[in-house]
Amino acid sequence: MNGAYLDLVRAHAPLLMIVAPLVGAALTLVSGLARLSWVVACIVGGVAAVIGIDFALAVFSAAPPAIAEVGVAIYVDGIGAFAGALMALTLTFVLVAAGATLKEAGASAAPFNVALLLCAAAGWIGALMARDLAAVFVAVETAWLAAVGLTAVNAVQARAPLNGALRMLSLGGVGAALMLLGIGLLGRAAGSFEIDALPLAHISMPSVAGAGAALVLLGLAVKAGVAPLHAWSAAALGRSSGVVSFGVGVLAVLGALSVMTRVSAYTITAPELGAAISAALAGLGAVSVIVGSVQAVGSTNLLRLAAYAGVSQAGCVLLSVALGSPAGFAAALMQLVAFAAAGLALYGGAAAGRVQALDRLDGYAQRAPLASAAITAGALSLMGAPLTIGFLGRWRLVEAGVGAGWWWAAGLVIIASLSGVFYGGRLIERMYFRRANAAYEGEGGLWRAALAPALLAAIVGIAIGVAPNALLRAAAAASQLLTGLAT
């Protein structure tokens, strides 16, 4: 009996991964109470994470499961399964950590916060599993608008997030319009609006298709905060609360990068489009690495520093994707894991003490040792210190790049790591070698412990670089599985 239910769940796993957060969002709104909504959200997030990880393991096994037909066109490829599981897992930790910062925007806003987090996650997971490009568009915009709403709702203690939300809306809206046009052009040129048809389609108008693909990726690049399209990130994240940092800085950017990776995997492998898309992504990635690194070095705000570091990491992901090879996609997936871990570490560590300006980090190690350890781990990962997931992701990129003759990609990785030494070293020095100049301002009492799982998960995720075999195998399997599983 239990086995039958389990099989049923597995058969509907992709749909459940999308629907569960949506249902959870509705339930949290209905519950009305801050802590109750948080508990419901954590449970839902955990369920989605378990389903996602189980499904991903099944997909990468020798006998991939069959997916039930449910009316909505779902197409699960390796990248979708890997990134979907990663999104669900990250969502769980974000929701748990949000418990420590839930009431910063007021108790009445708390149910909306968790509901918007769940909606955003549902959108990104939906975009990773959708078959139709229009469905991808709807899912992406759903997630993005939820993120905008999250930013705006939490602009209570500071009004700067409102400006950030405006920029997100403006840039995101432009990106959405361009993406819509791109979908139209791509669909017209390829003769199909289904994503899995692109690699095998006979593209009658390559330039039109190329323009369409570029516009779609451009629209996604805006959401991913890739330079030079990242004008929203500093304003939205610089003075944001913990919930916004997690929801936008980690979840939204991770989701957008994942969807970009997935869409690129199909457009790059299309013979008529591959070279142009690869060049465009490589250029964008290079600019993002350099701009993000420079801005992170010059930043005096911890949240903006983390945002700019994320821009640099996004650039490395795009460089990996631009290679267009299974090794490149595997490297991109590893770097997505590294991004999630570093984001949780930095934003979680900042949220623990409500740290925004860098000088408030002075003596942080004495006030919040676990948060300091998490920030240190994040900084080491961004530096590319050996035995961290950050080093592993960059090494895989360099390995794949050198194999393809892209020696300049190795140079960019070195730039990213060098800049990580400067801004990461600054963080470590402030936390451990300066006297505290501010009292601890984090959430008091028991709820302070809500951040601990996220911080510990981040540290473990970063330290997984010591023994990454399982992750490496999963990423390799995911990158090979572009043929996917269809309903």
Partner 1 sequence: MTPEFALYAVLGAPVLQALLVMLVPKPPGLRDLIHIGFSLLGAIAAAYLVSAVAHHETARIVLAQPLPNVDLAFTIDPLGAMMAAVLNGLGVLHAVHAAGVARAKQERAPARLLAFIALAMAGVTAVAFSANLFSLFVAYQALALAAFPLVAHRGDEEARPAARAFLATLLASSIGLFLPAMIWTYAIAGALDFRAGGMLAGRVDALTANILLVLYVMGIAMAAIPPMHRWLPASSNGPFPALVAIQALAVLPAGGIGVLKVVTFVFGPGMGEAALASQLLIVLVGIGMIVAALIALSKQDIRERLAYSCMAQSLAAVMGALLSLQPGSFAAAGLFAAALQILALACAAATLLMAAGTTAAITGRTTVADYAGLGRVMPWTFAGFAIASASMIGMPPFAGAWAKLWLITAAAGSGLVWAAGLAAAAAILTFTHLGPLAANALAARAPTDAFKRPDGASILLAAPVILGSGGYIVFARAGRSARGLLVADLDRGGGPMSEQRKTPPPRSGVTGVLFVFCLAALIAGLAFDLAGGVRVRFWIGDQPGGRRCRWRGPSFCSWCLPGRPRALCWGDGIESQKGRRWKLTLNPGFGADHRRVADPGDAAHGAFADDRCVSARGVLAAARSRVRRGWRDGADGTAGRSVQTR
Partner 2 sequence: MIAANALLEPVLAASAVALLIVGATGALVLTNVIKRLAALLIGGFGALAALAALGAPSGALLAGVAVLFAQTALGAALAVRLQEGYGSVETQDIDAADLEDDTRGHAS
Pick one of partner 1, partner 2, none as the site partner of residue 177 (Cβ within 5 to 8 A by kind): partner 2
CB environment 67-105: b (16+ within 10 A), e (fewer) = beeeebbbbbbbbbbbbbbbbbbbbbbbbbbbbbbbbbb
Q: Which of 43, 158, 404, 486 binds partner 2 (CB under 8 A)?
A: 158
CB of 164 to partner 2, least distance (A): 9
Indicate which of partner 2, partner 1, none lies near residue 69 (CB less than 5 to 8 Å, by partner kind). Answer: none
Near partner 2 by CB under 8 A: residue from 356, 376, 381, 417: 356
Residue 170 lies near partner 2 (rule: CB under 8 A): yes
How far is 338 from 161, CA to CA, in rounded Å?
Answer: 26
Q: What is the CA radius of gyration of the chain?
A: 21
Closest C-alpha to 28, from 118, 102, 133, 92: 118
Shorter beta-carbon distance to partner 2: residue 50 or 138: 138
187 binds, among partner 2, partner 1, none (CB under 5 to 8 A by kind): partner 2
Nearer to partner 1, 242 or 468 (CB): 468
185 binds partner 2 (CB under 8 A): yes
* Closest CB 426 distance from partner 1, rounded Å: 8
Q: How far is the CB of 363 from partner 1 (least distance, A)?
A: 10
- How many residues touch partner 2 under the rule CB under 8 A: the total is 42
Q: Site residues (CB under 8 A) for partner 1?
A: 383-387, 391-392, 395, 398-399, 402, 410-411, 414, 417-418, 421-422, 425-426, 429, 432-435, 465-469, 472
CB of 372 to partner 1, least distance (A): 13
Q: Residue from 235, 252, 289, 334 that binds partner 2 (CB under 8 A)?
A: 235
Query: Is the bond preceding residue 271 a cis peptide, omega within 30 degrees?
Result: no
Tell whether residue 141 is a contact of partner 2 (CB under 8 A). yes
With CB under 5 to 8 Å by kind, the binding choice for 178 among partner 1, partner 2, none is: partner 2
| Partner touching 337 among partner 2, partner 1, none, CB below 5 to 8 Å by kind | none
Residues of this chain, 289-328, that bind partner 2 according to CB under 8 A: 300
| Distance separating alpha carbons of residues 98 and 168, to the nearest angstrom | 22
